[in-house]
Amino acid sequence: MFLTKAGKNQISAREILLDPVLCLAFGFGSGLAKKAPGTFGTLAAVPIYIALIQTNIWLYSVVTLLSSVAGIWICGVAADKLGEHDFGGIVWDEIAGYLITMWFVAFSWQNLILGFVLFRIFDIFKPWPIKWIDQKISGGFGIMLDDVIAGLIAGLGLVIINLI
């Protein structure tokens, strides 16, 4: 059910969980799932989202922006350590992408679930320009950017659905 080694450099799950950067990149271990690590990474974002909505929009915004900007470094370092660009277990980008998706809607269980589904759809199927970004931009910036764009598009869709 969980990976025991990850990346071309075959880093053990134990090493991933003990390394602060890799632990963050792997979504506190959620990215170690053998199947659908991006979905598990997005699931790891749900409690973070629920904690943040207990605060105010300013703190939510700061954390979301910081997680997105810091994610460039986190994902880049993780990819270098793993010896593999955008390894599936790197899910920090999914965490930031989900927070972006939920940024401008009021909390409801319906929005939480619908935002999750919309984000996963855009992240998995990668319609243009997400696919182009995923293929053309490398490094930590590329790892993060396609999920940031997926989060923005999913968030826009969620806002529109809420207006209907």
Please give the chain's pLDDT, 164 residues, in tens: 899 999 999 999 999 999 999 999 999 999 999 999 999 999 999 999 999 999 999 999 999 999 999 999 999 999 999 999 889 999 999 999 999 999 999 999 999 999 999 999 999 999 999 999 989 999 999 999 999 999 999 999 999 999 99
Helix (H) or strand (E) holding 161: helix 139-163
At 86 the pLDDT is: 87
Range(s) of the domain holding residue 128: 5-163
45's CB contacts (< 8 A; 6+ apart) are: 27, 94, 95, 97, 98, 99
Give the ranges where the chain is alpha helix by DSSP (H). 13-18, 20-25, 37-52, 57-82, 92-101, 109-125, 130-136, 139-163
CA atoms of 56 and 123, how far apart (whole Å): 27
CB atoms within 10 A of CB 115: 28
Domain count, the chain: 1
Q: Peptide bond before 129: cis, by omega within 30 degrees of 0?
A: yes
Residue with tokens 């968030």: 155
How close are the terminal C-alpha atoms of the chain, in Å?
40
